[in-house]
């Protein structure tokens, strides 16, 4: 299984409050960091201005699912055993 440590040389912004999760990457067009949503097992890309890559992680931060180039206005529904979600710039994976 892959590990979150495989994403090298990228800063990680951690969202662990309701407000930081609510705002997330909405309105951002360009970003060059990973955005970690702790205790989040599904996301939407409403109001996003760019595609993103998404990694769903278990409680030990092992990769369970990956999604490449998720476009705005999509939903990734919660999945079993997913504990955290990592949002990445498009074409990172």
Task: State pLDDT tens for residues 1-45.
Answer: 444 455 667 888 899 888 888 777 777 788 888 999 999 999 999
The CATH H-level superfamily of 4-88 is Protein of unknown function DUF192 (2.60.120.1140)
Tell me the Ramachandran region of residue 25: left when phi exceeds 0, alpha when psi lies from -120 to 50, beta otherwise: alpha
pTM of the model: 0.85
Pairing state between β 12-15 and 34-37: parallel
Q: State the pLDDT at residue 86.
A: 94
CA–CA separation, 65 and 56 (whole Å)? 5
């Amino acid at each position: 299984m892959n590990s979150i440590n495989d994403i090298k040389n990228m800063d990680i912004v951690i969202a662990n409050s309701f407000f930081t999760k609510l705002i997330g990457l909405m309105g951002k067009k360009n970003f060059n960091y990973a955005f970690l949503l702790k205790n989040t097992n599904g996301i939407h890309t409403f109001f996003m201005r760019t595609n993103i890559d998404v990694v769903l992680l278990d409680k030990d931060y092992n990769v369970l699912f990956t999604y490449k180039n998720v476009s705005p206005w999509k939903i990734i529904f919660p999945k079993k055993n997913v504990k955290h979600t990592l949002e990445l710039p498009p074409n990172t994976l």
